[in-house]
Structure 1
Amino acid sequence: MTDVDRSKLLLPGRRLQRLREEIRDVRASQFRRLYEQADWYRHQQPPAEHPTASITFFGPAAANLSLLHLLTDQDHYLDEARRWIFTAARYPHWGKAHMPDHDLDAGWLSYGLSLAYSWIGDRLPAAEREELEAKLLLQGQRLYDFAVESEGGWWSSSYWQNHNWICYAGLATAGYALQDRHPEAREWTKRAEENFRKVLELLPEDGSNCEGVVYWRYGVPWIATYLDVLEQATGTDLFPDSPYLRETFWYRLYQAAPNLEEIVNHGDCHDRRSGHSVAFYYLLAKKYRLPQAQWLARQVAERGFWREAYESGVKPGVMPEAFQELLWYDPTVPEQDVRDLPTQRYFPDLGLVVARTGWDRDATMVSFKASPGGGHKAWERAKRFKDEDGWDTLNAGHHHPDANAFVLLSRDAFLAIDDGYANRKRAANHNLVLVDGQGFVNEDRYHVYKELPYQHQARIRSHAAGAGYVHAVGESAAMYEPALGVRQVDRHLWFSPLGHTVLLDRLAADADRTWTWLLHSDHPATADAERLHRIRKARARLDVHHVRPDALDTEIGETEIYANPTASTPSLEIRRVQQTLRVHAGPAREATFLAVLDARDDHDPDTSHVTALDVDGEGQAVRIERGSDVEVVLLEVAAGATAGDVSATGAAAVAAQADGRQVLGVAHGTRVARGGREVVASATASVFVTWDAYEVGVDVSADTDVEVTVTADAPVSVRADGVAVVPEDGRVRLHVPAGTHRVTWTR
């Protein structure tokens, strides 16, 4: 094998020459981004003295200008790079207000200035090269020493946290840039590789991020940044070894608002727009051949880039990533839009359930979550680190006390909102249930999961989906103060492709408690009828139908949120006011809330007719009439129940007619029937049957092989997806393997 010249980081072999050729055609748009970013730097004045605020922007500035000089051989870009590089290099310390030399500023600058040293060091005057080399050696040693000394404490061992990824990526890049002349730097690269191998092992397989979309966008690209440096510097490719990175694009995509510009802001999110990284989409598309990531990158680059750049509260932001956009773009990856993707996805580690009516801008979308702090895998492994080594590794300070909370959007508007960034995190800021006015144990501080006893865990107990419907059950009783004696806080969420969401909350405690149901919005709810509140925003309206409790006690008020999103800028303060609808029940040992949230066009004069149905057996049932569309939903009917002409045994069931289509389905059940049509499963499964005059469709999900019987005419033409279809007299029997399958046949 021929040795590859790796003397210039990220530019091994003939890559630089190929890039010089490709910027004329297949990388022309990325090249334009790079030189436009360089022009922007030309009109800026880097501060001669270290400001109190963050200086992370120096890192990508050095990299952008240095790469542009390499590509063009134009000396004025070299001069501009020197202006930025040596302003930063002459600061005595990197970072001022928070952990100088030992945190994010040092990580960002070590990465960017080390790339610059590797790329243009041989083009600098000898004295400047030596000055930069000495500074990188000094800062790298400071960062390395802190990592060793603080092992088991702060970011050195915070494997699920962005500070770990950024600082170790910066340290490794400096190490690879310096190790040929300074062998001690090999210890830096060795330690960084050991860290990231552990990170890849510990991250959840579903690609989710407990810190929320903003910190996903800020932090997760640094994992890929390190892996890119490692691969280009050593030939070691760890991308195939990371199920997390393979899946994480889907987390980001399904947390996108229907307009694909804004975000669902679970966790610490500075705003609703700081979510995109064109460069990172390019890299994920390249490494995992994801055509939807390639497509989304172009959508952002061409349509939403500048709004993201100027409205984002996260710095440095999307603009300085120009050099990575050029390096990470792979023109051989095809594009494919998202319209044919499933409209729902479940991320089990974070307990995150996402559903939408479609991929159009006006779609209705709900995002619902419940998990332990940091997600299930982090919670379990962090406990093991603590028990075996005495290490504090979780540091999930950006994860909110939001188990069983949800966010709802429709028609380009946020209707049921989350609080975004908060320094003093409280359950009362979220759409969930309070007990005697209290939220979760250990809350009302920044890091609500720090030193929280292991047993305080929330979870999604069950999840089912089919035919556009989604059902999930979250459990959060363990998150409340033990003194309250809370035994049950179970939330059933039912999402319909018609655009409404049904919420059932089952609540119980050892003593009489007052239960408060919360719904936050940007604008105040108004009481439009005895059991109806409305939230209006722009073109959208959310009709909140209160079905239970029978005695309704409501109030409307405000909830104030304060935050400082960055320790490096103490003067920065964010203040927001949420409008809050509160519904009270009790004092009582048990309580039930049942509500239908109906998203509509605000110009629509109609209101859905929502009624509670009497249930023969245990459970709750509601009938929703929306024009000619009718839907009956049964919840918590595992012991078997009948409501009207619908009977079912399962966690939930539906019987509906809409747009000329009939639907009959059961979630985690064995039977559902209506009007002579019956669906029976031999074992617990989620089965949704849809039919019209021409076609029958069956969606089946089960943990084991299952036999499903559907009352239906004999099929004419079958598409079976690995399912055996056996027609019988008036029935069709399906032998379905474990997993998720769809069967269709013409009638």
Structure 2
Amino acid sequence: MNDPQLLIGGGRLDRLRTEIQDVRAAQFRRLLDQCDFYARENPPAEHPEASITYLGPAAAGFALAYRLTDQRQYLDQARRWIATAVSYPHWGRAHLPDHDLDAGWLLHGLSLAYDWLGSALPEAERTALREKLILQGDRLYRYAVETEGRWWSSSYWQNHNWICYAGLITAGYALRDGHAPAKDWTERALDNFRTVAEMLPADGSGSEGVVYWRYGVPWLGVAFELIEEQDGVDLFAACDFLRNTFSYRLHQSAPGWEYIVDHGDCHDRRSGHSLALYHKLASAYRIPQAQWLAERVRTGFLGREWHESGVKPGVRAEGYLELLWYDPTVPAESPEQLPTSAYFPDLGLVTARTGWRDDAVLASFKASPGGGHKAWDTSHRIDAERGWDTLNTGHHHPDANTFVLIGHGSHLAVEDGYANNKLTANHNVILVDGAGYAGEGRYHVYRDMPERHQAHVHSVVTDDGWVHAVGEAAALYPPELGVLRASRRILFGPSGSLLVIDDLAAETDRTWTWLLHTDQPSTALGDGRMLVRSGTGQVTVRALPEAGFEQTTTLVTANPTSSTPSLTVGRTLHTLRREIGPERSARFISLLLPGSALESTPHDHATFNTTEPGGGAEISWRHGDWTYQVRLGTEEIEATARADGSVRRIRAAGSG
């Protein structure tokens, strides 16, 4: 049998055969589990309306299992799945047949199977697979050339770009020795990935949200590994985004690790894990916490992630990559010694948590232009120079100045998750005369927006358990509203209390509406507080000075993938609203105090006093064992928290 050329060549296959008996035994078991699952499945004889992406990794998994074990059943299964994929006249049916995700996924998986199985495939089947790969590779390559400057071909910050070019480069490497045009495929894809490595934000933040991070970023690992192996170009070293992106994923993990912070398009709150990617990042950059998280998922809740994730094929299909990417020389180390807060300036993302325990409290706050600052600035420059349309941020919401609050095992202040009709009102933000940000009400809210249309975060301070940040979003509202200021300050305290201060101004009188979305309805406590209980967690919400709330519901529905038109996701949000105006300026001060819904907690209280002209105020409250005092001046904020003899202080600049 031939020696494979991709990923397991050069003697690696022999080493893997030894290591699956000891240091890779767990990953080998995962691969066999993947194979057992797909062996029980029957790929449809005719191309279904739904996505067929899973055919690629199914074939690759069987091919790798066969090369590792020489067991005939894995070869037979690989042949069955390959024959089905080859029989389809097109890859992809409902959306851009041959030219999008289905084609990319299948080109990758079936090209690996072609290389790995080699002469083990009967000659007629090998020839049919080769001709199909040539046909589909040529179709995808031609589409990329013809649409340069439009859609995924030049959308450097988008998962479609990474997946399609990763599929194309895998096919190119598998075929280029015997099919001269395949060299054009690899050269174009390599040039694209060089650009991607340069264009992505250095802080590692993902503007598409955690779900599309886990869906798209593994393909950078796929492509970069093949490029280094086949062409000797080390894009891992050149890509600061990939070097730092595990930190983004870590800080967007809900306490307990099973769930996520759901900024951006998120089918659900579970679909966030890729053990394969964690292993690749751990290996490439020697990140022990990435190794630890992969093991935590594998031994703790892999089965739930496998079966309950709304993103298909998800972690189920990644067994072959987990085995190949696991590096047993990287130690596993929990994040307990890492900072509990983080700031990702490109996405304007600030996160804070009370610790790494499962019952900790977490807040996540963000404000940035569409796609983040680097994508926004770079795309506007490229598009102006070349007449292109490179920024596709359909998974980025009109959510500047929103926040998520999670505590005691529950999501307490929540996002809409996934929406085709993206509305500012679906987020925890401010409406002006009932209107949200310009461009809302469509899928790609940032398309064709002028460069000045951007939000930003400043005054980020993390100190002694405190986290402070200010977001400014005035430039996002329609110009006719004349919004001069939409400043939101968040102050996260050592106990997990969250103080939110909105300072707003416009050229003329406006009605200002403050929004907070929760999973469960709230109950008025009769003293100005609203209580939201959600499973094991709860949060009290108070307006300072005391003001009433209106409670409504917000229905959000979406089709999260154009390749499966019948798939619908949705949720009903319970919404607290309060209004000021019409007035030219307004201030909302809001206090959110999370706690356990299962245990009695000390009665919290809050007071508010105006102490000086120009909007200065003093606020005090108690939260659990902590007492807080905050002085809000015109130029700065000072805060003190005390508990059990411990005193923690912070001072930060005003909101500008």
- CA deviation vs aligned residue, 1:123-146 (integer Å, no higher than 9, x gap): 111111111100000000000000
Q: Deviations over 1:476-515 (max 9, x none)?
A: 0111111111111100000001120000000111111111
Given that 1:613 and 1:623 are in contact with CA atoms closer than 8 Å, whether structure 2 keeps it comes out as: no
In structure 2, the residue matched to 1:616 is 612
Look up the match of 2:357. Answer: 360
Shift of 1:101: 0.2
Give yes or no for the alignment of 1:575 onto 2:570.
yes
What is the DSSP-based 3-state SS (H/G/I as helix, E as strand, rest coil) of the residue aligned with 1:613?
strand
Q: From the two aligned structures, give the one with the greater helix fraction.
A: 2
> Following TM superposition, by how much is the alpha carbon of 1:600 offset from its aligned partner in structure 2, in angstroms?
1.4
Give the letter for the 2:445 counterpart: V
Distance in 2 separating the partners of 1:605 and 1:631: 16
Matched, 1:527 2:524: yes
Per the alignment, residue 741 of structure 1 pairs with none
Deviation at 1:357, TM superposition (A): 0.5
- Alignment partner for residue 303 of structure 1, among 300, 309, 317? 300
Deviation at 1:636, TM superposition (A): 4.7
Find the aligned partners of 2:541 and 2:486 in 1 and give their Cα distance.
21
Identity rate of aligned residues, in percent? Answer: 56
Unaligned residue ranges in structure 2 (runs of 5+) = none
- What one-letter code is carried by the residue in structure 2 that aligns with 1:569? T
Which structure 2 residues correspond to residues 310-349 of structure 1 after superposition, within 5 A? 310-349=307-346
1:675-706 Cα deviation digits (max 9, x unpaired): xxxxxxxxxxxxxxxxxxxxxxxxxxxxxxxx
Rate the CA distance shift 1:364–1:327 in 2: closer, same or farther, 3 A: same
Per the TM alignment, residue 12 of structure 1 is displaced from its structure 2 partner at its CA by 2.7
Kindly provide the CA deviation profile for residues 25-79 of structure 1, in whole angstroms up to 9, marking residues without a partner as x: 0001111111121111221111010001000000000100000000011122111
Corresponding residue for residue 250 of structure 2: 253
Deviations 1:193-247 (A, max 9, x none): 0000000100000000100000000001111110011122233222111110000
Structure 2 equivalent of residue 594 of structure 1: 589
TM-score, reference length from structure 2: 0.98
How far does residue 627 in structure 1 lie from its aligned partner after superposition? 5.7
SS, match of residue 351 in structure 2: strand
Give deviations 1:144-189, integer Å, cap 9, x for gaps. 0000000000100000000000000000000000000001100000
Q: Is the 8 A contact 2:466 2:650 kept in 1?
A: no
Structure 2: distance between partners of 1:15 and 1:636: 64
Aligned to 1:654: 639
Show the 5 A alignment for 1:176-575: 176-548=173-545, 552-575=547-570
* CA apart distance, 1:629: 2.9
Q: What do the CA deviations read for 1:580-603 (whole angstroms, capped 9, x no partner)? A: 000111111111100110111223
Give 1:423 deviation, angstroms: 0.4
Once residues 630 and 605 of structure 1 are traced to their aligned partners in structure 2, the CA distance between those partners, rounded to angstroms, is 14
Is the 1:111–1:170 Cα contact (8 Å) retained in structure 2? yes
2:40 corresponds to 1:43: yes
Q: Which one has the largest radius of gyration?
A: 1
Partner SS for 1:424: coil
Cα drift, residue 462 of structure 1: 1.9
Q: Distance in 1 between matches of 2:316 and 2:367?
A: 34
Q: Please tell me whether the aligned partners of residues 422 and 440 of structure 2 are also in contact (alpha carbons under 8 angstroms).
A: yes
Q: Distance in 2 between matches of 1:147 and 1:578?
A: 40
Deviation string, structure 1 residues 541-563 (Cα, Å, up to 9, x no partner): 11111104x6x342101001010
Aligned pair count reads 652
Q: Normalized per residue, which structure has more strand? A: 1
**How far is 1:605 from its partner?**
4.8
Query: 1:464·1:668 contact (CA, 8 Å) conserved in 2?
Result: no
Structure with the larger RCO, 1 or 2 (CA within 8 Å, 6+ apart): 2
Offset, 1:309: 0.9
Confirm or deny that 1:59 pairs with 2:44. Answer: no
1:175 partnered with 2:172 = yes
In structure 2, the residue matched to 1:715 is none
Cα distance in 2 for partners of 1:142, 1:368 equals 42
Distance in 1, matches of 2:223 and 2:644, equals 51
Q: Is 1:606 the counterpart of 2:602 in the alignment?
A: yes
1:634 positional shift: 2.4
How many Å separate the matches in 2 of 1:571 and 1:656? 52
Cα distance in 2, alignment partners of residues 368 and 243 from structure 1? 23
| Offset of residue 664 of structure 1 | 2.9
Residue 109 of structure 2 corresponds to 112
Query: TM-score if structure 1 supplies the norm length?
Result: 0.86
Q: Which whole-Å CA distance do the structure 2 matches of 1:118 and 1:282 have between them?
A: 23
Structure 1 CA distance for aligned equivalents of residues 73 and 360 of structure 2: 49
Match of 1:143 in 2: 140
What is the distance in 2 between the residues matched to 1:232 and 1:637? 58
Is the CA contact 2:528–2:548 (under 8 Å) kept in the aligned structure 1? no
d(CA) in 2 for partners of 1:354, 1:229: 34
SS, match of residue 384 in structure 2 = helix
Distance in structure 1 (CA, Å) of the matches to 2:94 and 2:626: 59
SS in 2 for 1:377: helix
User: Counterpart in 2 of 1:710?
Assistant: none
SS of the residue 1:250 aligns to: helix
User: Could you say what the CA RMSD is over the residues aligned between the two structures, in angstroms?
Assistant: 1.4
Q: What is the letter of the counterpart of residue 316 of structure 2?
A: M
Note if contact 1:471-1:492 (Cα within 8 Å) is conserved in structure 2.
yes
Q: Residue 723 of structure 1 aligns with which residue?
A: none
The answer (yes or no) to whether the contact 2:255–2:359 under 8 Å persists in 1 is: yes
Amino acid at match of 2:257: L
Contact 2:382 2:388 in 1 (8 A): yes
Question: Do the aligned partners of residues 397 and 541 (structure 1) sit closer, same or farther apart at CA in structure 2, a change above 3 Å counting?
Answer: same
CA distance in 2, matches of 1:275, 1:629: 33
- Structure 1 residues 445, 636: CA separation in 2 closer, same or farther (over 3 Å shift)? farther
1:492 and 1:635 in contact (8 A); partners too: no
- In structure 1, the partner of 2:150 is 153
Alignment partners' CA distance in 1, 2:649 and 2:108: 56
Residue 118 of structure 2 corresponds to residue 127 of structure 1: no
Whole-Å separation in 2 of the counterparts to 1:593 and 1:142: 55
Structure 1 residue matching 2:471: 3-state secondary structure? strand
Deviations 1:612-658 (A, max 9, x none): 133235433311123653211123541xxxxxxxxxxx3x2112211
Contact 2:513 2:578 in 1 (8 A): yes
Structure 1 residues 46 and 154, CA gap change in structure 2 (3 angstroms):
same
Contact preservation (8 Å) 1:465, 1:667: no
CA displacement 1:446-470 (0-9 Å, x = unmatched):
0000111211100102211010100
Distance 1:445 1:372 in 2: 16
Distance in 2 between the 1:605 and 1:188 partners? 63
SS at match of 1:239: helix
Determine the structure 1 residue equivalent to 2:650: 665
Q: 1:562 to 1:636 in 2, by over 3 A?
A: farther
Contact 2:4 2:118 in 1 (8 A): no
Output the CA distance in 1 between the equivalents of 2:486 and 2:121. Answer: 65
Distance 2:193 2:651 in 1: 43
